[in-house]
Structure formats: structure tokens, C-alpha cells
Structure 1
Amino acid sequence: MDGRQRFWETMRYGNPDRVPYFEEGIRREVLKAWRAQGMPRGLQLSSLFYTDHQEEIQPDMDPHPAPRRWPASPAELRDFQGRLEAEDPRRLPRDWPVRVAAWQAHRHVLLLRVHRGFFLSLGVHGWRRFNQVMRLLVDDPEIIRQVLEVQGRFAARLAERVLRHVQIDAAVFSEPIGGNHGPLISPRMYEEIVMPGYLPLMDVLRQHGVEIIILRTYANARVLIPVMLKWGFNCLWACECAVEAMKYRELRSEFGRDLRLIGGIDLDILRKGKEAIHREVMETVPPLVAEGGYVPLADGRVRADVPYENYLYYRRLLEEATQA
């Protein structure tokens, strides 16, 4: 069974030979630290542990040229629309035809990032713009809704451009919208202002038979899950969410098989001892693997403060837990 088949069997609650495991990449500084701790030079971690290759297509979704000012009025919005041309050659890699040809018979998991989420679609990259957006949500929520609808139609056209040539395994909406205490907008605002902008994308994905639609979120987005399920998302990939509210076993217990899950292993545990790692993995992974619809993964990329021996123990334990 290849990686793509394994992913589909897992997401469809079938009978994979084992669950997939995605490695999000080990940074150079991490490998440097681990070599100082005894990792043999030249060792490839892939030779020690199974890893299922996954690739994510990431079109350029930036407005071109970049606006000096993000739209806060209908006139500015009309100008902004002209900067979102889905057929712009810069949206896709220069070697796009070569990549498309290589993907025709792909056996690994191929994802497509289709949207950057609420804040990034509104140009929030720092405190000043964040403050502007939060004020507009109170003073003029309609202009926020209109900007998101423009962004959604653009994202749908861009996804259509990709899907004309490539068969993907899942679509990914990136939604960095929260902190440890919850999302920065209410579920009501999320449903009334954000979700309508996603509808054109959902239509395109359905037309192209995209079955798995992932919301990749950060920190504590717990109260948004009922909204996401209502609007057509069926998989949660939660990152950097070391809070009780996002414990995957509790989420599965509440939302059942409608909510597929990727991640769920607290990255912070890898900085602690083997006892803590064992408890986290064995409490989380085996029950969810037995139920299906779950890809176990740490909820963030490993950093240099994770000891090499801890990582080795975690990966060996994960293999044991998923093959039992």
C-alpha cells in the first residue's frame, strides 16, 4: 500500500496497513544540535522510521502589486480586486508544467493550500494592521465581509486553475486565528463574516471531487469547530495548541466521525522526559488509531530544544503505538 492509498484508507475509516505519518521537516539548527548530542553525521532519520511523503502546493495568493493601503471603502476595494488576477503566471511555480506531469501518477499525498484564512487575507502581518482590522470589525463589518468575499472568489478561481490539471488528495484552509484562550473573533462573527467568503471555494472543490477539506488552525480554535463542520470542513489539523480544550480524544468523543483529525500530540511533551512522552502518546494515539480517521503527528515542527534521545524515543513509541 503506497502513501496515497494509506491516507485515503485512513480518512475513509477503512483498513490501512498502518496509519500515515507525516514529518514536517527537521530544521538545520535542530540537526546541528542533535549531532552535538550524538546523532551520527550523515544519518538520515528516514532510514530509522517510516515516513509518508506529503507535498503541499502553495500558490501565490498575494495581491500584485502589493497595495500601499488595504481596502477600507468600496472604492479602495475595486482597486484591490485588480490586484488579484488568478491567471497571473506568478501565481504558480515557473516549472509548473513539469510538476503537473510528475503529479499525474503520484503515489504520495498531495495537498493544495486554497486559502490563507481570515487575518492574512486582510493583510494582517503586524500589530498596526491587526488593530485596524479589529476596529473595522466593530465599526464597519460589511467592508470586512466584502474584502473576504473578493478574496474568496479569487481563491476559487486560482484553485480552479490548479484543479484543471492536478488531482489532489485534500484541500487545506490555513486559519491562524486564535490564542491559547480561544479565537480572536466570536463564532457568530466567524460564521456571518468569514464563512460566506469560503463558499466559492467549497463549490469548486465539490465540482472537482475533493473529498477531504482540512482546516489547519493554530492554538485554541475549539469553539469554531461546530461552525466549520456546518460549512463543509471535515478534517482538523490543529497546530501549537497545548491546551486542554483541544485534546483530540475529547474532540472525537464530541464530534464523532464527522471530524477527521491530523496531529494531536503536544510538541512541548518532547522537551520533557520519557515518562511524559509515553503518557502523552499512549493516552492519545492508540484509541484514535483504533477508531480511524486519524493521522498522528506532533502539533508543530520540532525545535532545537527537543533532545535527540527524546525524539528517538517518541518516534519508536509512535511506531509501536500505531502498529499494535
Structure 2
Amino acid sequence: MINMNSKERFLSIMKYQQVDRMMVWDFGYWPETVKRWETEGLPENVDISKFLGIDVRWKLLEVKTGPFPPFEEEVIEEKDDTVIMKDDWGRIIKWANSEEKRRSTFPQFIEFPVKNRIDFKEYCNRLNPVDEGRYPKNWSTLIEKYKNRDYPLGIHIDGLFGFIRQIIGLENLSLLFYDDPVFVEEVMEYHMNFVLEYAKPILNQIELDFAIFWEDMAYNKGSLVSPELVRKLMLPRYKKITDLLHQYKIDLIWVDSDGTVKELIPIWLDAGINVFFPAEQGNCENRIGDWRKKYGKEVRIIGGIDKFEVAKGKKAIENQITKNLHLIQEGGFIPILDHSVPPIVSLTDYQYYLELVRNIKM
């Protein structure tokens, strides 16, 4: 069979079609991982993806889909290792005082820009969906470049839960579902319309391969909001967005959510969302085989490989591939570590894992 490029291979796997070989992808590497690998044989300042033989990864449109203009970043307090600052979403955060450390740590959220309806009304001044500043200056050039791409290209969408979490905060949002559910619904409705309005002109200009909702609405024991509320508040709005995407022949619609998402899978499927990333393993309860048995080939996976197991050596790595092999060979499943590669994974073990993936017979 003729060799495919990443775009062709991705679409063939996700659509259960014949493919030349399995995709070899990952989600990047912690800075500490790179430092470790450099002591184990990785050349310094090398393109790591090329060194490892990673296929060209998916890309997202270079369009600003958050608040615009973004808030001006402002340092409020600076110490040796940390900084308290306002970020581009208007949140007050405490974070590591170096870009390198930020790549492997999470910020501590101190204050969020929206606390009530008045705050949200003001925030909406930064949510003009058709502001030309959302597009890069070379947009027309990019449109032409995208036509000849060899990689999957998608559009990013801050999810209905994900967006409101970004501006209100997880704890505050959790209380709002009880204290003022009408306000929660108002924000979700506004955001849905915002997404529809910024997406339409883009979809009229570019043929895309996928769309991805960023949600992060689960932890290791399950959903952060009840499935009943998800069905009531989010499902109808998801469907309006996915209906638009389907009009433009985008039928691979991802959701990116960490945690145990098994109780959300049927809702997302009803909403037209059919690709699940990263299918986190470890101490999460995401049983991919059970999903496929219950929901059939509508379930597609990108992820699903336990990074902690890959760190344990060849036997554990082989077990990760073996237990998923029939699902991978069936299609609709691209195995990737369920996050960036952490420093507990040696270069030798990671190369062994990649070689096993590369040699899977499809």
C-alpha cells in the first residue's frame, strides 16, 4: 500500500478505513524529561519529534478564540520561584517564575474576573466573535497554505463547561449550579452563540478535518457536574454547535477532558461528539474496551496509554499494547500516552514503546 501522510492516515484510522500503518503520535515532553533524555543519548537542541520518528502532529487554526483583546498581563508580586500575576484571561494566578517550569506545573488560581452578571456583561466586551484582530495578519496566506497541508487541521472550541470554568473558576461554578443555575445557563447560551458566530466565517473559508472541545470536566472518580445537568444545560447547546460543524462535513469532533469520563460518553455521543482524548488511564476508570462494546464504532480514541506503565519497562509496555491491540487494529484508535511524556519515562523505554506502535499490523 502506498505511504500515507499524517492527514490521510489520521482520517483513514478515524473512519475505520484501510491504512498503511498505525499513526505514531505523542503529546510532547516535559522539560525535565528532555533533560533526563539528554543524559541518556538524546542530542542537545535536536528536533525531538524527528529524532524519535513521530509523525507530523495535528494542528489547530491560528485564530484567537478566547477574550479579545486579551487582558494585559501584569506582574503583581514576584519572588525567587513564583510570581503572582494577572493573565491574558483576566485571572489572578500564582505560578512558576519561568516559562520552562510552567510547562510542567499548573497555576494556582487566586481570583477570577467574573463573579456576577455585571462582571460578565463587562467581560462580553472582549467576546466580539467577528473582531478581525482574532485572525493572524497573514490569514489569507495561511488559507492558501492550509489547502496543501499534509497534517490534520482542526478548530479549537472552548467547551460550554470549560469556558465558564475559565472565567468564573471551578469552585465558584460548582456553587453556581445550585445557587444560580439560570446565570450558568445564560453564560452557556452566550458562549454557544459566540462559538457559532466566530466559527461560521472560518468554516466558509477552510475545509477542516476535525473540531475539538476543551472541557476538562472530570476528575479521577467521575464528572465534576452531574450527568443530569449536562443533559439539561449542555446537550442542546452542544448539538447546535455540532450541527453547524456537520453542515461543513466535519464529522470528527473531539472532546478533550481529563479524568474519568465514562458517565459523560453517552451524552457526548448524543451531542455528536465522537472522539475522546486523552482517555486518561492510571487511577482513572476509563475502560476503553467497555466503551467500544457498549457504543460500537462511534467511540474513537486518541490517547489511552498509561504513562506510568510505560515507565516500568519492556514487559509493562508490551502489556499496554497487547491489551489494546484488537481495538487499535479495528480502527478508530490512535494510541498516545495519556499526557505529555513525564520524566519517569526513560528514553530507551519510550523508544521501545514507539517501535511497538510503529510495527502494529493493521
Task: Give, in whole Å, the separation in 1 of the partners of 2:157 and 2:354.
Answer: 31
Letter in 2 for 1:186: S
Alignment of 1:9 onto 2:53: no
Q: 1:297 to 1:216 in 2, by over 3 A?
A: same
How many residues get paired?
318
Partner of 1:55: 59
Task: Give, in whole Å, the separation in 2 of the partners of 1:169 and 1:43.
Answer: 26
Partner of 2:21: 18
Higher fraction of helix: 1
- For normalisation by structure 1, the TM-score amounts to 0.89
Cα offset for 1:77? 4.7
Q: 1:186 to 1:101 in 2, by over 3 A?
A: same
Alignment of 1:168 onto 2:208: yes
Partner of 1:293: 332
**Contact preservation (8 Å) 1:159, 1:201:** no
Gaps of 5+ in 1: none
Alignment of 1:323 onto 2:323: no
**Contact preservation (8 Å) 1:152, 1:197:** yes
1:1-324 aligned at under 5 Å gives the runs 1-41=4-44, 42=46, 44-57=48-61, 59-64=63-68, 69-70=113-114, 72-73=116-117, 77-124=120-167, 129-243=169-283, 245-284=285-324, 286-320=325-359, 322-323=360-361
Task: Give, in whole Å, the separation in 1 of the partners of 2:48 and 2:282.
Answer: 29
Task: Give, in whole Å, the separation in 2 of the partners of 1:76 and 1:244.
Answer: 36
**Contact preservation (8 Å) 2:52, 2:351:** no
Letter in 1 for 2:150: R
Gaps of 5+ in 2: 72-89, 91-111
**Contact preservation (8 Å) 1:219, 1:242:** no
Task: Give, in whole Å, the separation in 2 of the partners of 1:50 and 1:57.
Answer: 21
**Contact preservation (8 Å) 1:239, 1:300:** no
Q: 1:239 to 1:60 in 2, by over 3 A?
A: farther
Task: Give, in whole Å, the separation in 1 of the partners of 2:47 and 2:256.
Answer: 31
Q: 1:110 to 1:216 in 2, by over 3 A?
A: same
Q: 1:135 to 1:270 in 2, by over 3 A?
A: same
Q: Deviations over 1:238-264 (max 9, x none)?
A: 254424621222221221111111111
Q: Which segment drifts farther, 219-228 or 240-249?
A: 240-249
Q: Deviations over 1:120-163 (max 9, x none)?
A: 334357xxx32221111001111101101101110111111321
Q: 1:29 to 1:89 in 2, by over 3 A?
A: farther
**Contact preservation (8 Å) 1:112, 1:171:** yes
Letter in 1 for 2:250: V
Letter in 2 for 1:237: F
- For normalisation by structure 2, the TM-score amounts to 0.80
Cα offset for 1:58? 5.3
Q: Secondary structure of 1:222's partner? A: coil
Q: CA RMSD in A?
A: 2.3
Letter in 2 for 1:114: I
Q: 1:141 to 1:43 in 2, by over 3 A?
A: closer
Q: 1:29 to 1:161 in 2, by over 3 A?
A: farther
Q: Deviations over 1:217-255 (max 9, x none)?
A: 111111001111111112111254424621222221221
**Contact preservation (8 Å) 2:65, 2:156:** no
